[in-house]
């Protein structure tokens, strides 16, 4: 596969009002001078589901194979996709306690969304002034407000 020369930076964040509750996800994409913001919401969801949804939607926004750095403030997302997922798949989607992996549907979707790309996953500390992370966070929390206003 031929990848684009420049690296696409994707900042993702999920938020939830109540857990479960109304959730929002936000994605801030940067490619050279191009910037794009996308977001969405769901009812009766969890923060972890919104973190996963943000990563999936960020990847799905790309139309061709890309070199990507995904920045997330979710250890669950970063460790899940870079460490835990291999054993989950090997163990028929059971965790180390032999229980079903939570959010299996979204993990499988994330694998599918990621497969055509070269991705480096980076954890960033949230809410400390990282501009990309702050934009993604604002998109996620605004998506919750928007969903509330049409409830």
Structural domains in the chain?
Answer: 7-149 (3.30.420.10)
Structure tokens belonging to residue 59? 């990847």
> What is the C-alpha separation between 65 and 44, in angstroms, rounded?
33
> What is the C-alpha separation between 77 and 140, in angstroms, rounded?
16
pLDDT in tens, 60-115: 999 999 999 999 999 999 999 999 999 999 999 999 999 999 999 999 999 999 99
Closest-CA residue to 107 (of 117, 115, 96, 98) = 115
Catalytic residues: 13-14, 51, 73, 127, 137
Asked if residue 5 has pLDDT above 80, the reply is: no
pTM exceeds 0.75 for this model: yes
Closest-CA residue to 58 (of 12, 121, 122, 126) = 12
> Average pLDDT of 119-134?
94
Report whether 50 contacts 16 (CB < 8 A): yes
């Amino acid at each position: 596969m031929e990848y684009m020369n420049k690296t696409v930076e994707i900042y993702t964040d999920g938020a939830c009002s109540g857990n479960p509750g109304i959730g929002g996800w936000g994605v801030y994409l940067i490619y050279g001078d191009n910037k794009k913001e996308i977001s969405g919401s769901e009812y009766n969801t969890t923060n972890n589901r919104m973190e996963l949804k943000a990563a999936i939607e960020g990847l799905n926004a790309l139309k061709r194979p890309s070199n990507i750095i995904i920045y997330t403030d979710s250890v669950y997302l970063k460790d899940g996709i870079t460490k835990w997922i291999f054993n989950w798949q090997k163990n028929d989607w059971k965790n180390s306690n032999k229980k079903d992996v939570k959010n299996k549907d979204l993990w499988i979707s994330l694998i599918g969304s990621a497969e055509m790309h070269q991705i480096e996953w980076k954890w960033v500390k949230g809410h400390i002034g990282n501009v990309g992370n702050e934009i993604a966070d604002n998109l996620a929390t605004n998506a919750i407000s928007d969903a509330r206003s049409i409830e």
